[in-house]
A and B are shown apart, each in its own frame.
Chain A
Amino acid sequence: MMALPYITEHTGFTGTVYATEPTVQIGRLLMEELVNFIERVPKAQLASLWKNKDIQRLLPSPLKDAVEVSTWRSCYSMQEVNSALSKIQLVGYSQKIELFGAVQVTPLSSGYALGSSNWIIQSHYEKVSYVSGSSLLTTHPQPMDQASLKNSDVLILTGLTQIPTANPDGMVGEFCSNLALTVRNGGNVLVPCYPSGVIYDLLECLYQYIDSAGLSSIPFYFISPVANSSLEFSQIFAEWLCHNKQTKVYLPEPPFPHAELIQTNKLKHYPSIHGDFSNDFRQPCVVFTGHPSLRFGDVVHFMELWGKSSLNTVIFTEPDFSYLEALAPYQPLAMKCIYCPIDTRLNFIQVSKLLKEVQPLHVVCPEQYTQPPPAQSHRMDLMIDCQPPAMSYRRAEVLALPFKRRYEKIEIMPELADSLVPMEIKPGISLATVSAVLHTKDNKHILQPPPRPTQPTGGKKRKRASDDIPDCKVLKPLLSGSIPVDQFVQTLEKHGFSDIKVEDTAKGHIVLLQEAETLIQIEEDSTHIICDNDEMLRVRLRDLVLKFLQKF
C-alpha cells in the first residue's frame, strides 16, 4: 500500500485499483504520517551523484552494498497520495469483481489487520488463491476466511511472519514485563511504532495489565500526526472487526478499550511533540511514536532525550526493521534496548495446518520459504513442508502456473437449446449435434441460433459474396461406436471376401484382403480403407464398416 503512489503516478498506470475501505483509510493515514514526517525536515538540496556506481563503490557500508540505488526515489507528496487513492475502487469481503469477463476476483478477510485481504482469482474451471499477510490469532480484525480458499488449483503463499521464532503472545508478555520494570524504576519507555495495527492490540493488552501492574498513574502518550484519526477510525470500522468487538458496537460500547483509556486520561494523543504535549508531558511515562526506523519522526527526539540514561528503555515491536541497524547512529547508548517483535502473520506451523485444511493442488511461494533461514540452517521446521513440494519463485521472476486451461464455458441461447435433439449413446450420456453461431465478446462465449437462410426472392439472383451464410444443410452425419473385428471379418466373409488376414497394431487392427490387395486400418478414432483405384470396392467396404457404427 505504501508504494501505491509510485506505481499509479510514475509508471503510466491507467487501470483500476481494488481495495477494502479500511485499507484505503488506514493506508492514507500511514502515508500521510510518512509525508508529514519527511516534509517537516525539508532537505536544502537533493544529491544523486552518489548513485553513480563508481562513486557508490567508494562509500562506506552499508551504502556501498545497497542494490539498485538508481531506482531509489524520494518520498511522494500528499498530492500524489490523493491522486493514487482516487484510482481505488472500494470492495467488500466476498464481493465478486468481474475482470474483463475472463476471471472473477474476490477479496477475503485475512485476519491480519483491519480490511486486510487475501484474494481469489477464478475462472469457471480454475481457481488461484493469493494469500498475503494473514493471521490465525485472535486479534482485533475479522478472523481469516479459510474455507473459501479450499479447492484451489494453485495457492500463492506470501507475507508470512518475518520472525518465525518469535511467538506473538510471548512477545506481548515480554513487552508488558519490561515496560512495567522500567516504569517502576522511574524510567521512561519509548515504543517506536506505526500509528495503526499492532498498536491497537498493545493498547488493549496494556489496558488489562496496567492496573494489575500498579501502573495506573503512569501516562501513556501516543504521538503521531494521525494519532487522533487512527484511534477514531479504528472504532468505526465495526463490520471489519472480530466478532467480539462487533457485538460491543450493539451494546453500544466502543469496540476498542483505548476509548476508555482516553476518557480516563491514561492515554493521551498528540499530533506532535510541539504544542499541548510539551505542557502535559510528565515523567516517567510511556511514549508510542514513529517512525520505527528511528530515522525520522518524533521518535528521533525521544531517542536523543532519553538515550543517555540507563533507567529508560526503548522497546522495538515492529518487525519491519533490524533494531540493531535502527540504533546504529545513536551509539553509544545508555538506555536499555528490548527487542519484542510482534508479528502476528502466519508462521510455518500455522501454514502447515492451513495447507492441510485448504488442500490446494499446488503451492507457489517465494524461494526463501522453501529452506530454513540461513542463520538457523538446522531448523527444518522453519520452512514450508508440503506435498507436492512448493514451487518457488524469485524476485521479478515470471512463472508459468502449474495448470493447463482445458475447458471454456459456453452458454447456449434458450431457443437454440430447445431445438436440440439429444440421443442417448449410453445410459446417462446423450449427444446432440448443434449448428450455431459462436458469439464471443468480453471473454464470454454464447452459441446463438444460426440466421435463417434468406429465400431467393423472385427470379433474380442478387446474391452477393458478403451475404453468404454457412451451409448447414449438407452436413455429413457424425459417427460413433466401435467396430468389433471378429464380427467385421465374418461380415466380410459373408459378403464374399476370402483370404482375410487380421494383424494387431499398437492402435488397433489391420484387416488385409489379400486377394483384393486392399487394406482396412481400424483404429480407435479412425478407419481407413486403402485400395488401389477401385472406388466400387471402397464404397462397398465403407458401407460394411458403417453398418457397425451409429449415425446422428
Chain B
Amino acid sequence: MDPGCSRLLPALCAALADPRQPVADDTCLEKLLDWLQTVTEAGSSLLLLQENPCLVELLFHVVKSQDLSSRILAFSLRLAGMFAAQETCFQYLQGDSSLFVASAAGQLLVHVLDLAMRGPAEGHCGPQAHAWPACAQEIVCHIEASLRSTATPQVAQALNVLTTAFGHYHGLWMQGLWVRLSPLVARLLERDPVPAAHSLVDLLLSVARSAGPSPDGGLWETLAQTLSRLSPTQAGPLALGILQLQGCPQALRTQAFGRLLQPLACVLKAAAQAPGPPGLPEGAAGDSVTVDTLLSSKSACVGLLCCALAHLELLQPLPQRPSPWPQAPLLGAAVTILRFCNGSASPTSDVGGRLCTILVGCARVQRAALDFLGVLSQETGPQEPVTQVFAILLEYLVSPDSSPMVLKKAFQATLRWLLRPPRAPGCCDLDPHPQLFLGELLPVLQKRLCSPCWEVRDSGLEFLTQVTRSWGGQAGFRHALLASEVPELTRQLLRDPESYVRASAVTATGQLSSQGLHAPPASPEHPGVQQSLLEELLHILSTDAEGFPRRAVMQVFTEWLRDGHADVAEDPEQFVARVLQAASRDLDWEVRAQGLELALVFLEQVLGQRGSRCAYAVALPEAAPPGTLAQALRALCRVQLFEFAFRALFDCDRPVAQKSCELLLFLRAKAAPYGSPQDAGGSPDVASVEATLQRWQAGEQGQPLGHLEPGAVMAVLKSLDLEGLRDTLAESSDHVEKSPQSLLQDMLASVGVLSENEADCY
C-alpha cells in the first residue's frame, strides 16, 4: 500500500466505525473492498494488518458495536473473510435490504458450499447426499427450508442461491444437489400462484445450461411442466431460454415456441374475419388463459404483447431458432397488431372488439410491433404480404396521430423493408413494390420535414440520408426524389432552430450532394442569392453555436474529401486549408478530432495509404507528377496541417491529442525512408518551432507557428518523443481519478461534512 493511502486509512476506518457518520454508499464500499483485495493479493495479508492496525480495530469495533448499519457490518464481515479465507462460518445475510449484501451473502453460501463439497480430497463428494459434510448439509437444509417456506422472498432467495450455484459450478455434487432439491422445486409449481416465478425461470434455465447436452430426463419434464404452469407473461422468458438451449428435445422446443407465439395467435384469431387456420405452428393456438390475460387490463395486454414481440425479435436472428420460421403469419400478426393500434382493424369477434378498445393509440405496442416488423424484413417467405406491410407502414407515416417516437420507428422499419436485398439477384433497379411505395412515400416525407415537431423533422432527415446512401445510384429513386421538393426542404432545414435537426440536415444535404441529388440552383427570381452548399456548410462550421451541426459538417467534409466530391476536387488544398482553419478554433473536441480525421485523409491522398508500402499520391490537379515527398510536404505546409496537428498534440482533450500523435507518427514513418530533404536540424527555424511547441505544451497556445518549411517540420518531428507521448496518452484519462487514494479521499470528503458541522457547534 502506498504511503498516501496508509495515511488516509485510519481516518476512514474511524469514520466507518462511527454509527453517526453518514457513510458512503454501497458502491464505495464495494470499490474499497476490491482495492483491499488487490492489495492482499499483491502482498502478505498479515503484513497489511500489521502495518495498518486501524483495520483490525475496525473489525474489533464492529463486533462490539450494537447500532452499526448492516452495510458496514457486511463490509466488515467480508473484509474479515478476506483476511481469513479459510473461515467458513458466516452468518446468513440473505435477507438484507441492500442488494449488494443479499447477493454477496448468496454468493458466499454458494462458495462455502462448493468449498465444503470439494472437501480436502477433491471430487470425493458424489451425488449421495448422506455422504456430504455437515457444513454442506446445513446449507442445503437451509435452502430446503426456504423452498418450503410460504414467504415468496425466502423462496426467491433460495432459488437465486441455486441459480448462482448452477451458473458457477459444474461438479458431480451439483447433480446430487439437483436430484435432492428438484422435487421441492417441482412442488413450487403446484402452488397458485407460482411463487418467485422469475427466479424459478432463471434457476431452471441455469440448470439446463449447466447440465450440458444430455441432462437428466426429469429436467425436461420439469421445464415442460413449468412452461404450461406459468402465466403467459412469466412463461415468455422461459420459452425464449428453452429455444436457445443446446440439445433440447424437439417436443419441448415445439411447446416453447408455441407458448411464445400464443399472444400473437390470439390477436390473429381475434382479428380473423372468417374462421380458418391462422398459419402458426401447432401449439400456438391461443388458449383461454392467454386471452384472459390479454383482456384483463390494458397494462397486462400491453405488457404481454410487448414481451412476446421483443422475444420473437431476439429469436429471429439466432441460428437455433425454430425451423420452418412462420414468416407469413408473423408478418400478419405484426400488421394486425398495428391495425388494432391505429383503429383500422375491424374485428367481428368480441375479443377483437375488446383488443381494439385496449390497443387503440397505444404507443408502446406500436413501437414494439414496428421494431418487430423491421426485423422480419430480413426474412424471405414464400407468400409474404409485402403489399400489406407497405400499406400499414404508409398509414403510420401519414397519420397525424403517430407520436414522434412511433414515427421514428415507422421510418426505421420502412427503411429496413425498402433496403432488403432484391428478390431477383442481379437486378440493379428497385423491386416494383418499393418503387410504387416511393411514389407515395416522398410526399409524406416532404410533409414530415415541415412538421412543427423537431423530432419528426429529425427522423425524416435521418431516413432520407440512409435511403439515399443505399439508393442514390438507382434511376427510379433519383427521378422520384428530384421531382419532389425534398432536396429543397432539406437544404432549408440547414437553418432549423433545433441543433439536432441542423446536424441531420447537414448530413442529409452532404449525402444528397455526394450523389448529385442536391437542391436545384437558386430560383430565377433570386439569382445568386443561394450560395453554394460548400460555402453554406463552411458558414455553419464557423458560426453555428451548437456542436452537433459543426461535427456533422466535419464528417460530411471528410467524406467529400475521401470520395472526391466535385466541389472539393476543384481545389482540395484550399478546401482543406479552410476547413482546418475553422476546425482549429473550435471549442468542441469532437470537431477538432474530426479535423484530424480529415487531415489524415488528405495526408493519405498526398502521401499514400496508411499501411500500404507503395507511396503513391492521388493526382493533385496542379501538382507536378506525384511521389516526391518534398512536394507533398510543401502541400501539407501550405494547408497549415502541421500547425493544426501540433496544436492538437497538446490538446487538453486526450482523444484529440492521441489522434494527432497517431497522425504525426504515420507521417514520420512515411517520410523516414526518404531521409530528410535537407538537414535543417540546427537551423534557427527549428529552434523557434520547438520553443513555441514547448510553450503550447505548457498551456500557452496563443502564439502561432507561422510559416513552416518542410525541412524544419521533419526535424521537429524527429526530435519529438512521439512514442513516449503516445504511451502517456494511452493511459486512461481517469487513471488519476480511479486511484485508491482518490477513492479514500472521496469517502472521507463525504463524511467530512459531519465533522465540519460539529466544529461549527463549538
Contact = CB atoms under 8 A, between A and B. Distances in A.
Interface of A: 165-167, 170-174, 176-178, 180-181, 184-185, 205, 208-209, 211-214, 340, 349, 376, 378-381, 385
Interface in B433-474: 446-448, 450-454, 456
Contacts of A172: 452
B400 A205 contact: no
Contacts of B395: none
Contact of B343 (A165, A170, A205): A165
B485 A381 contact: no
B450 A176 contact: yes
B570 interface: no
Given A349-B361, A379-B356, A380-B356, A211 B497 contact: yes
A379 B343 contact: yes
Interface stretch (B67-75, B138-146, B346-354, B527-535): B346-354
A209 B492 CA distance: 14
A173 B453 contact: yes
Given A174-B400, A214-B495, 18 more contacts: A166-B401, A167-B401, A170-B400, A176-B451, A176-B452, A177-B448, A177-B450, A178-B447, A181-B450, A209-B452, A212-B497, A212-B498, A213-B450, A213-B452, A378-B348, A380-B356, A381-B360, A385-B357
B149 interface: no
Contacts of A171: 400
B400 A214 contact: no
A170 B497 CA distance: 21
Interface in B273-298: none
Contacts of A205: 452
Contacts of A174: 400, 447
Nearest to B402: A170
B342 to A, nearest CB: 10
B496 interface: yes
B2 to A, nearest CB: 57
B757 to A, nearest CB: 38
B450 A379 contact: no
Given A167-B401, A170-B401, A211-B497, A177 B353 contact: no
16 contacts: A166-B400, A167-B400, A170-B400, A171-B400, A174-B447, A176-B450, A177-B451, A178-B447, A212-B496, A213-B450, A213-B452, A214-B495, A378-B347, A378-B353, A380-B353, A381-B356
A165 to B, nearest CB: 7
A173 B360 contact: no
What band does the interface of chain B fall in when counting residues whose beta carbon is under 8 Å from A? 20 to 34
Nearest to B345: A378
Interface in B311-348: 343, 345-348
Interface string B562-602: 00000000000000000000000000000000000000000
B400 A378 contact: no
Contacts of A178: 447, 450
Contacts of B399: 170
A399 to B, nearest CB: 27
B357 A380 contact: yes
A185 B447 CA distance: 13
A170 to B, nearest CB: 3
Given A209-B452, A212-B496, A379-B343, A177 B354 contact: no
Contacts of B492: 184, 214
A299 B565 CA distance: 51
A208 B452 contact: yes
Contacts of B347: 378
Contacts of B451: 173, 176-177
Nearest to B497: A212
Nearest to B343: A379
A165 B360 CA distance: 10
Interface in B488-516: 488-489, 492, 495-498
A378 B452 contact: no
Most buried by B among A171, A172, A184: A184
A35 B348 CA distance: 50
Main DSSP-derived SS at the B contact region:
loop
Interface string B261-278: 000000000000000000
A379 B496 contact: no
A379 B343 CA distance: 7
A77 B625 CA distance: 92
A238 to B, nearest CB: 27
Contacts of B488: 184
Contact of B446 (A181, A211, A385): A181
Contacts of A214: 492, 495
Most buried by B among A209, A213, A340: A213
Contacts of A166: 400-401
Given A172-B452, A176-B452, A211-B497, A378 B356 contact: yes
Contacts of A378: 345-348, 352-353, 356
Contacts of B354: 380
Contacts of B361: 167, 349
A381 B344 CA distance: 12
A181 B400 CA distance: 16
A497 B284 CA distance: 83
A167 B404 CA distance: 14
A204 to B, nearest CB: 11
Contacts of B450: 176-178, 180-181, 184, 213
Contacts of A212: 452, 454, 496-498
Most buried by B among A171, A211, A340, A379: A379
A376 B401 CA distance: 17
A184 B452 contact: no
Nearest to B360: A381
B296 to A, nearest CB: 15
A213 B452 CA distance: 8
Contacts of B401: 166-167, 170
Contacts of B402: 170
A212 B356 CA distance: 38
A462 to B, nearest CB: 82
A181 B447 contact: yes
B91 to A, nearest CB: 49
A185 B485 contact: yes
Contacts of B345: 378
Nearest to A381: B357
Most buried by A among B348, B352, B399, B453: B453
Contacts of A379: 343, 356, 360
Interface string B677-692: 0000000000000000
A184 B446 CA distance: 12
Contacts of A185: 485
A213 B353 CA distance: 41
In the A-B complex, the 8 residue pairs with the smallest Cβ-Cβ separation, listed nearest first, are A170-B400, A381-B357, A177-B450, A180-B450, A176-B452, A378-B346, A174-B400, A380-B353
Contacts of A376: 343
A356 to B, nearest CB: 12
Contacts of A170: 399-402
A177 B452 contact: yes
Contacts of B447: 174, 177-178, 181
Most buried by A among B346, B360, B456, B498: B360
A208 B402 CA distance: 21
Nearest to A185: B485
A380 B347 CA distance: 10
A166 B498 CA distance: 27
Most buried by A among B345, B353, B448: B353
Interface string B536-557: 0000000000000000000000
A177 B495 CA distance: 17
Contacts of A184: 450, 485, 488-489, 492
Contacts of A173: 400, 451-453, 456
Nearest to B447: A177
A349 B346 CA distance: 19
A366 B665 CA distance: 81
A165 B400 CA distance: 11
B64 to A, nearest CB: 56
